[in-house]
Chains A and B, each alone.
Chain A
Amino acid sequence: MIKVDENGFYGQFGGAYIPEMLYPNIEELRENYESIMESPAFREEFDSLLKDYVGRPTPLFLAKRLSEKYGAKIYLKREDLCHTGAHKINNTVGQIILAKKLNKKRIIAETGAGQHGVATATVCALMGMECTVYMGAVDMERQKPNVERMRILGATVVPANSGSKTLKDATNEAMRQWINNPVDTHYIIGSVVGPHPYPEMVARFQSVISAEMKIQLKEKEGRENPDLVIACVGGGSNAAGAFYHYYNEPSVRLIAVEAAGLGVFSGKSAATTLLGKPGILHGSKTLLMQTEDGQVVEPHSISAGLDYPGIGPVHAHLFESGRGEFVAVEDEHAMQAGIEVSRLEGIIPAIESAHAFSALNQIQYQPTDVIVINLSGRGDKDLDTYIKWGNY
Chain B
Amino acid sequence: MNRIDELFKQKKERILSIYFTAGFPKLGDTLTIMEAIESAGADIIEIGVPYSDPIADGPTIQESNNQALKNGMTLKLLFEQLKKLREKVSIPVILMGYLNPVVQYGMEAFCKKCKEVGIDGLILPDLPMQQYLSEYKALFDTYDLRNTFLISPQTAEERIRQIDQHTDGFIYMVSSASITGAKKEITPEQVAYFERVKAMKLNNPRLIGFGISDKPSFQTASAHSHGAIIGSAFINVLRESTDLKKDIYEYIQGIIS
Contacts and interface: CB of A to CB of B under 8 A. Distances in A.
Partners in one complex: yes
Interface of A: 7, 15-21, 23-25, 162-163, 168, 172, 175-176, 179-183, 277-283, 288, 290, 292-296
Contact of A293 (B66, B74, B163, B179): B74
A25 B153 CA distance: 12
B127 A17 contact: yes
Contact of B53 (A18, A19, A281): A281
Contact of A20 (B55, B69, B102, B125): B125
B188 interface: no
Contacts of B151: 20
Interface in B181-236: 182
Contact of A294 (B57, B105, B155, B163): B105
30 contacts: A7-B130, A15-B128, A15-B131, A16-B128, A17-B99, A17-B126, A17-B127, A18-B126, A20-B163, A20-B174, A21-B178, A23-B155, A24-B152, A24-B154, A24-B155, A163-B52, A176-B56, A179-B55, A179-B178, A180-B178, A180-B179, A182-B152, A278-B103, A279-B104, A280-B99, A281-B53, A293-B75, A293-B105, A294-B100, A296-B52
B183 to A, nearest CB: 13
Interface string B96-111: 0011111111000000
Interface of B: 51-59, 62, 66, 69, 74-76, 98-105, 125-128, 130-131, 149-152, 154-156, 159, 163, 174, 177-179, 182
A19 B74 contact: no
Contacts, number: 110
A199 to B, nearest CB: 15
A290 B75 CA distance: 14
B69 A295 contact: yes
B182 to A, nearest CB: 8
Nearest to B134: A7
Contacts of B57: 176
Contact of A280 (B62, B100, B163, B177): B100
Contacts of A288: 100
A282 B149 CA distance: 19
